[in-house]
Amino acid sequence: GQNIDQPTEMTATEGAIVQINCTYQTSGFNGLFWYQQHAGEAPTFLSYNVLDGLEEKGRFSSFLSRSKGYSYLLLKELQMKDSASYLCAVHLRGYSTLTFGKGTMLLVSP
Protein backbone atom coordinates (compact mmCIF):
# COMPACT_ATOMS: atom_id res chain seq x y z
CA GLY A 1 0.00 0.00 0.00
CA GLN A 2 0.91 3.64 0.13
CA ASN A 3 1.86 5.66 3.16
CA ILE A 4 2.07 9.46 3.20
CA ASP A 5 3.09 11.32 6.35
CA GLN A 6 2.90 15.00 7.20
CA PRO A 7 2.85 16.79 10.55
CA THR A 8 -0.66 17.37 11.85
CA GLU A 9 -0.20 20.98 12.94
CA MET A 10 2.37 23.74 12.73
CA THR A 11 2.44 27.29 14.02
CA ALA A 12 4.48 30.24 12.79
CA THR A 13 4.63 34.00 13.04
CA GLU A 14 3.69 36.53 10.39
CA GLY A 15 6.69 37.39 8.24
CA ALA A 16 8.56 34.21 9.10
CA ILE A 17 9.48 31.19 6.97
CA VAL A 18 7.96 27.76 7.50
CA GLN A 19 8.77 24.38 5.98
CA ILE A 20 6.12 21.67 5.82
CA ASN A 21 7.52 18.19 5.27
CA CYS A 22 5.94 15.23 3.55
CA THR A 23 7.39 11.73 3.40
CA TYR A 24 5.95 8.91 1.34
CA GLN A 25 6.40 5.22 0.79
CA THR A 26 4.74 4.16 -2.44
CA SER A 27 5.33 1.95 -5.40
CA GLY A 28 5.09 3.43 -8.85
CA PHE A 29 5.67 7.02 -7.79
CA ASN A 30 5.16 9.51 -10.60
CA GLY A 31 4.94 12.93 -8.98
CA LEU A 32 3.87 14.91 -5.93
CA PHE A 33 1.30 17.67 -5.58
CA TRP A 34 0.79 20.28 -2.88
CA TYR A 35 -2.64 21.80 -2.31
CA GLN A 36 -3.82 24.53 0.04
CA GLN A 37 -7.22 24.31 1.68
CA HIS A 38 -8.80 27.07 3.73
CA ALA A 39 -11.50 26.08 6.18
CA GLY A 40 -14.78 25.45 4.40
CA GLU A 41 -13.26 25.88 0.96
CA ALA A 42 -12.05 23.71 -1.89
CA PRO A 43 -8.40 22.64 -2.07
CA THR A 44 -6.44 24.80 -4.51
CA PHE A 45 -3.35 23.77 -6.44
CA LEU A 46 0.04 25.05 -5.30
CA SER A 47 2.69 22.94 -7.03
CA TYR A 48 3.53 19.71 -8.81
CA ASN A 49 7.01 18.14 -8.66
CA VAL A 50 8.09 15.27 -10.87
CA LEU A 51 11.86 15.72 -10.93
CA ASP A 52 14.25 16.12 -8.00
CA GLY A 53 14.94 19.64 -6.92
CA LEU A 54 13.39 22.89 -5.88
CA GLU A 55 10.66 24.71 -7.77
CA GLU A 56 9.96 28.27 -6.78
CA LYS A 57 6.73 30.12 -7.34
CA GLY A 58 6.58 33.48 -5.63
CA ARG A 59 6.51 33.10 -1.86
CA PHE A 60 5.99 29.35 -2.16
CA SER A 61 8.62 26.75 -3.12
CA SER A 62 8.38 22.98 -3.27
CA PHE A 63 11.20 20.47 -3.12
CA LEU A 64 11.31 16.80 -4.08
CA SER A 65 13.81 14.01 -3.49
CA ARG A 66 12.59 10.86 -5.20
CA SER A 67 15.36 8.69 -3.77
CA LYS A 68 14.49 9.70 -0.21
CA GLY A 69 10.70 9.69 -0.66
CA TYR A 70 10.63 13.23 0.68
CA SER A 71 9.14 16.56 -0.24
CA TYR A 72 8.70 19.87 1.48
CA LEU A 73 6.70 23.02 0.92
CA LEU A 74 8.46 26.24 1.89
CA LEU A 75 6.41 29.33 2.63
CA LYS A 76 8.24 32.64 2.93
CA GLU A 77 7.13 36.01 4.29
CA LEU A 78 4.18 34.41 5.96
CA GLN A 79 0.90 36.26 5.94
CA MET A 80 -2.18 35.74 8.09
CA LYS A 81 -4.05 34.50 5.02
CA ASP A 82 -1.60 31.59 4.77
CA SER A 83 -3.34 30.00 7.76
CA ALA A 84 -4.80 26.90 6.12
CA SER A 85 -4.40 23.17 5.72
CA TYR A 86 -1.63 22.06 3.34
CA LEU A 87 -2.17 18.75 1.60
CA CYS A 88 0.56 16.61 0.12
CA ALA A 89 -0.66 14.19 -2.58
CA VAL A 90 1.13 11.52 -4.54
CA HIS A 91 0.40 10.60 -8.13
CA LEU A 92 1.16 6.98 -9.00
CA ARG A 93 2.13 5.72 -12.45
CA GLY A 94 -0.74 4.19 -14.33
CA TYR A 95 -3.35 5.94 -12.22
CA SER A 96 -5.13 9.15 -12.96
CA THR A 97 -5.98 9.94 -9.34
CA LEU A 98 -4.17 11.20 -6.27
CA THR A 99 -3.40 9.70 -2.87
CA PHE A 100 -3.45 12.37 -0.19
CA GLY A 101 -1.75 12.73 3.15
CA LYS A 102 -3.93 13.83 6.07
CA GLY A 103 -2.84 17.42 5.73
CA THR A 104 -0.90 19.88 7.88
CA MET A 105 -2.87 22.64 9.59
CA LEU A 106 -0.75 25.80 9.61
CA LEU A 107 -1.65 28.61 11.98
CA VAL A 108 0.01 31.96 11.37
CA SER A 109 -0.10 34.35 14.31
CA PRO A 110 0.63 38.11 14.41
CB of 11 to another protein, least distance (A): 18
Provide the 8-state DSSP code for 80: G
Using the rule CB under 8 A, which residue among 72, 91, 106, 108 binds another protein? 91
Assess 69 for contact with another protein (CB under 8 A).
no
Provide the 10 A C-beta neighbour count for residue 58.
7
Q: Are 71 and 88 in contact (CB under 8 A)?
A: yes
35: Cβ contacts below 8 Å, ≥ 6 apart: 43, 44, 45, 46, 86, 87, 89
Judged by beta carbon, residue 75 or residue 88, the one nearer another protein is 88
Under the phi-then-psi rule, with left for phi > 0, alpha for psi from -120 to 50, and beta for the rest, what region is 103?
left
Indicate the residue among 38 and 59 with the shorter CB distance to another protein: 38
> Binding residues for another protein, how many (CB under 8 A)?
23
Site for another protein in 27-56 (CB under 8 A): 30-31, 33, 35, 41-45, 48, 50
Exactly one of 12, 78, 84, 89 binds another protein (CB under 8 A); that residue is 89
